Amino acid sequence: MADSQRHPFLHGLSKHRGAPPTVVVIFGASGDLTARKLIPAVYNLGVDNLLPTDFHLVGYGRKEIPDDEFRGLAKDAIKEFSRRELDDESWGRISANTTYVAGGYDDLQAFERLASHIDKIEQQVGRDVQSLFYISTPPSVFAPILKNLGAAGLAGKHLGKPHHAKVIIEKPFGRNLESARELNGTIRSVFEEHQVYRIDHYLGKETVQDLLVQRFSNAIFEPLWNRNFIDSVQITVSEEVGVGSRGGYYEQSGALRDMIQNHTMQLLALTAMEPPVSLDAESIRDEKVKLLKAIQPLNIGPNGDVARAQYSAGMIGGKEVRGYLEEEGIAADSKTETYAALRMSINNWRWQGVPFYLRSGKRMARRVSEIAINFKRPPGTLFADSEKFNLANNTLAFQIQPDEGLSMILNAKIPGLETRTQPVKMNFRYATTFGSNTPEAYERLVLDAMIGDGTLFIRGDEAETSWKLCTPILDAWSEAGREVMESYPAGSWGPAGSDALLAKNNQLWRQP
């Protein structure tokens, strides 16, 4: 019997990206992330023939769910959330090896049952199988899961062999520096660092991956990527939505923890890091850590480097929306920020004197995530007449969402007999150039974890370095209460204090 007949996933499989036989165990299998992202990611990898030859999917959760019912829930999730329509043949190959184990996260006996379940899969396959544990649960049960994986012998399974166990940990990775260090300590007591994949789904997006390609493969950019030609860098992660029904969760988080410390800092590191010596995971992650360590401590006092605010009532999409303090589950004296902005300075040769501005907020004017590289203006000798020549800084913008791509702002002559100028935009969009059905971030990240590529995942020291920068801000805000809390109307681009961060350098926020 041909391999492609015995193992259908072999057909069309890229040997370079091929993963070993794998059991993926999803903790929190009945949760929202599993339905919206993880199950569709696994399904689409199967459609693309990128799952390993022997692949098994195991859901784990507190609820008692029969295997058939779990398969039905997974199938419904694919129908609703997958970027592709359900193909019965592709789903049939996956569902045949999809099972469910019920148990508590602090129940060692349940983990021992899970270990026996994986042993039976190995007996069925007839060879060692890699175990990939995906922790998609509230952070409060991260530690019990990790400890029980160790106590049940699952963390050390096949350690030292190519098919050793691995663990993917969802964010938030701690609430501050102390808790991040504590979580890292728990991880290191059970797993070795090369087994651990701390996930940030932003790093799986096409434009984020393309950032390194643009920087290091185009001769027109790399010579300019420094203090001599770049005036400032702005990173924006904004949302139109409010907290909705997640008020209870958001009250414990806020914009700095929810977006700045992880997503936005990752974008900063990739934008500003030095060229790695190679494209292997550790070389890239080494440079990211070096960059984060070069960021100077922020001035948190009045007229300093930080701003925070809560959204008030306003208009979104032509409809009135209420303010944060009127949302369900929000205390009337809430100290939780829905908007945060930072001005950062990097103390190294490349970026000395170049300000980096980061902002993230809810109920903003529009949903957008982008990195904007603002270049310096040329000497104003030829086109100095501001009334006649409408000039703008050249800007290279990486759009991460909702429309992944690049844009470049150039100054051009307006057609006519008189020499007049105005800024024009050149656009590249992944959807129009390569087709709209591009892989989701979780597809890339799950596949990378299966094959052991940690490039797009966060290392332990990297997480702690980021928290070291953000924790003093959180502490200062907690002590200040509502004293330094601004407000901004829903549908706007943020508070006046955020604009003031740029005004000190005679700069303005870009309006994406």
> Which residues are tagged catalytic?
263
Of 201, 208, 236, residue with least CA distance to 405 = 208
Of 487, 481, 474, residue with least CA distance to 325 = 487
Structure tokens at 133: 């544990």
Q: What is the Cα gyration radius of the chain?
A: 25
> Measured in Å, how far apart are the chain's first and last C-alpha atoms?
57
DSSP string, 395-441: EEEEEEESS-EEEEEEEEEPSSSS--EEEEEEEEEHHHHH-S-PPPH
How many residues appear in the chain?
Answer: 512
Of 439, 462, 467, 468, residue with least CA distance to 199 = 462
CB 98 within 8 A of CB 67: yes
Q: Is the dihedral of CA 476, 482, 488, 490 positive or negative?
A: positive
Q: Which amino acid is at 195?
A: Q
CB 44 within 8 A of CB 74: no
